[in-house]
A and B are shown apart, each in its own frame.
Chain A
Amino acid sequence: MALLSGLRQLSPAQPGPASPTARGGTAPVSSGVNGVGVIRGRRERPRGHDIGDTAIGRWVRIYIPVWTLVLVTLFPFYWMFITSFKSPSELLDFSRSPLFVIHPTLDHYRHLLTQTHFGRWSLNTTIVAVVSTGISLVCSILAGYSLARFRYRGANAIGWGIFVTYLVPPTLLFLPLAVVIKELHLFNNLWSLILTYPTFLIPFSTWLLIGYFKSIPRELEESALVDGATRLQTMVRIVIPLAIPGILSAGMFAFTLSWNEFLYSLIFMNDTVAKTISVGVTSELIRGDEFFWGELMAASLLGSLPVALLYSFFVDRFVAGLTAGAVKG
């Protein structure tokens, strides 16, 4: 938890959601100063005897490895992007450099949006992600508050139980869950996903929120209680508003996880119009051995866009959620 509070100290240093970083070149060159919230005082730390302080040293030690990593990391996305604009003949023409597109075309996008159900898949994915995130957040706020504040028999055991469920991967459960979903007659129904996604969203969010709730001083609530507020009022009026950053982090993470989910959707959704993006794309744009790469890459790009945008606007919240999840022990 020490780490968690450390992180929280960091976040106010980057005010507001729309910090300009991820939107490319807008980050000022002097980001050593800009990023001061992230790397407190590191700049002042003396680097001592080694090559680090010379210009060549900085190139060898920092710039070359950093930009190599960035290049390798981003190349698949570049390839996705470039492929989606190539005409079919250019797609398979390796006599010239394949790294650039000479006659860009929007045919693949046109085909994707008019000849397939991509719009419908996007709608399905959005509905499922939004509703399951909402349900999970409500459940996690209530459960997290209960576990962080109240002492009652079994609270500790239930807390650890929820932690353990976080570690149960969907792979272990998808077959019996298919049986349950079938019993409930929810095949090809968005509710099958809306009800099952919380099983991996709630454990994560609850643990993240327990940490946030615990960091809010009890005294605030106690004085409200003394002033005559009920327990539920103190929760809604005092604790939840103070925990908004944590709730945002949990919500973003939950949204991304449900947007990216694949296995349950693959099993439960067989009708073309019921599919989510990742399932629709892999099952309808690949026919046997034939891959429609132009459309596939266009769809991958469009399908990644919402989470990428969300992420670029809230990088710091996201990182806080991610690392809080990682260090929640």
Chain B
Amino acid sequence: MNTATQAAQTPRVALRRPRIPFLDREAPLGYLLLAPALLLLVGFLAYPFFIGLWLSVTNAAAGEIWQYVGLANYRFEFLNDRVFLASIWNTFVYTAVTTVFKLALGLFMAVLLNQAFPFQRFVRAALLLPFIIPTVLSTLAWRWMFDPTFSVVNWVITHTGLAVRGVNWFGTPHAAMASMIIVNVWRGAPFYGISFLAGLQVIPVELYEAAKVDGATRRHQFVHITLPMLRPVLLVVLLLSTILTFADFQLPYVLTNGAPYSSSHVLATWAYAQAIQGGSLGVGAAISLVLFPVLSIVTAGVLIALRHD
């Protein structure tokens, strides 16, 4: 664009329409366009967050006047509430174990799908299905599959000779945790798989060709090309998944809801149980805020790692 044409056009512009100068300057218009989104986020996210902080230091309960009680809720939870302490442990186990499995399975899926074979697109669509379907509804199906007396999972494993007796899925704490982990991995692995696949597909083929010329084996290629190139996707997927799993409510609530004997509660379901079913809003708010430091650390850690790249 040279100055001559610019000069020629300027008068035409002025003639054509009266401009509102305010809406053409970047800053005011920028803020204006941001306003609706910010309004909703501040009103229903930031503001409630501070209310939550306040709730957790009151004895708020249904139908009572809230009074400031300092850290009494937290002190009570950490010193007296065995279910709470178990739920912290459960939350960590649930998150750590499922993340490892989803990571491994996701990588496996991505490498598998990154090859040409018949019905490739159908397979990809089918594998992503658990991630699309409402968690609550698919978890209900799993709950039925793990039914104490009519478990089809048990029927399959006894009839194929994998085990002599079926597992009493919701009967022991370990089996209950295992069932939650199985369903979570079933639901979450596709997200890893498809994201990694997208990551794989933009790795330049030349890298592999060069490696092959240099005599690298397939495993070498995986460790030295695939994994490093996937690093950014890997980090973001891990971050999102860790956070969502750590704060997961739907799946544990529908599948076990603490059974047996409140042994399989995670922080989210225990906060719900205390606040909504037990009526102690303040205690519930304190329990769910226990999630916050861990979530912040995970977020900060991955943000720093991403900046690094």
Chain A residues in contact with chain B, CB under 8 A?
A: 2-3, 6-7, 10, 19, 21-22, 24-25, 27, 29-32, 34-35, 38-43, 45-46, 48, 50, 58, 62-63, 65-66, 69-70, 72-74, 76-77, 79-80, 83, 91-92, 94, 98-99, 135, 138-140, 142-143, 145-147, 150-153, 155, 158, 162, 164-165, 167-177, 179-180, 195-196, 198-199, 202-203, 206, 226-228, 230-232, 256, 259-260, 262-263, 267, 277-278, 281-282, 291, 293, 296-297, 299-300, 303-304, 307-308, 311-312, 315, 318-319, 322-323, 325-329
A171: which of B9, B37, B142, B247 is its contact (CB, 8 Å)? B247
B48 touches A173 (CB 8 A): yes
Contacts of A142 in B (CB 8 A): 33-34, 36-37
Q: Which of B168-220 contact A (CB under 8 A)?
A: 186, 190-191, 194-195, 197-199, 201-202, 205, 208-209, 212, 218
Known A94-B155, A142-B36, A226-B6; contact A170-B249, beta-carbon cutoff 8 A: yes
In contact, A278 and B120 (Cβ under 8 angstroms): no
CB-nearest residue of chain B to A228:
B13
**Is residue B97 within 8 Å, beta carbon to beta carbon, of the partner chain?**
no
Residues of chain A contacted by B131 (CB below 8 angstroms): 322
Bound CA span A143–B37, Å: 6
**CB-based contact A143/B55 at 8 Å:** no
Given contacts A202-B40, A278-B134, contact A76 B145 (CB under 8 A): yes
- Contact (Cβ within 8 A) A94 B150: yes
Determine chain B's interface SS by DSSP, over half rule.
helix
> Complex: how many Å from CA A164 to CA B248?
18
Most chain A beta carbons < 10 A, residue from B45, B147, B239: B45
Decide if A152 touches B133 in the complex (CB within 8 Å): no
B71 within 8 A of A: no
The answer to whether A172 and B109 have CB atoms under 8 Å apart is no
Q: Are A79 and B288 in contact (CB under 8 A)?
A: no
B96 interface contact, C-beta 8 A: no
B binding-site residues for A, Cβ under 8 Å = 1, 6, 9, 12-13, 16-17, 19-20, 23-24, 26-27, 29-31, 33-34, 36-38, 40-41, 43-52, 55, 108-109, 112-138, 140-145, 147, 149-150, 152, 155, 186, 190-191, 194-195, 197-199, 201-202, 205, 208-209, 212, 218, 232-233, 235-237, 239-240, 243-244, 246-250, 254, 267-268, 271-272, 275-276, 281, 284-285, 288-289, 291-292, 295, 299, 306, 309
Looking at B29, B116, B123, B202, the one whose CB has the most chain A CB atoms below 10 A away is B116
Bound state CA distance, A300 and B254, in angstroms? 13
The 7 closest A-B pairs by CB, nearest first: A169-B247, A6-B202, A21-B121, A150-B30, A323-B198, A176-B52, A32-B116
Given contacts A262-B250, A281-B140, A323-B198, A140 and B37 within 8 Å (CB-CB): yes
- Given A38-B120, A293-B144, A69 and B37 contact (CB-CB distance below 8 Å): no
CA–CA, A300 and B143, complex, Å = 12
Q: Contact partner of A308 among B9, B109, B132, B144, CB < 8 A?
A: B132
16 more contacts with CB within 8 A, not counting A146-B30, A165-B46, are A21-B124, A30-B118, A34-B120, A62-B112, A73-B127, A139-B36, A139-B37, A165-B41, A260-B133, A262-B136, A282-B136, A299-B137, A300-B137, A319-B198, A322-B191, A326-B240
Quote the shortest CB–CB distance from B286 to chain A (angstroms). Answer: 10
A319 touching B194 by the CB < 8 A rule?
Answer: yes
A contact residues around B141 at 8 Å (CB): 76-77, 79-80, 83, 297, 300
The residues of A that contact B289 with a CB separation of less than 8 Å are 172
- How far, in angstroms, from A272 to B76 measured CA to CA in the complex? 36
B212 touches A46 (CB 8 A): yes
**Complex: A177 Cα to B52 Cα, angstroms:** 8
Taking a contact as CB atoms closer than 8 A, the residue among A41, A152, A195 that contacts B40 in the complex is A195
How long is the Cα–Cα vector from A323 to B233 in the complex, in angstroms? 9
**Which residues of chain A are within 8 angstroms of B44 by Cβ–Cβ distance?**
177, 180, 195-196, 198-199
Contact status A168-B51, CB under 8 Å? no
Which residues from chain B contact A202 at a C-beta distance below 8 Å? 37, 40-41
17 contacts between A and B (CB under 8 A): A3-B199, A3-B232, A31-B120, A38-B201, A63-B117, A66-B113, A74-B126, A77-B133, A155-B30, A169-B295, A260-B134, A263-B249, A278-B134, A291-B144, A293-B144, A327-B195, A329-B236
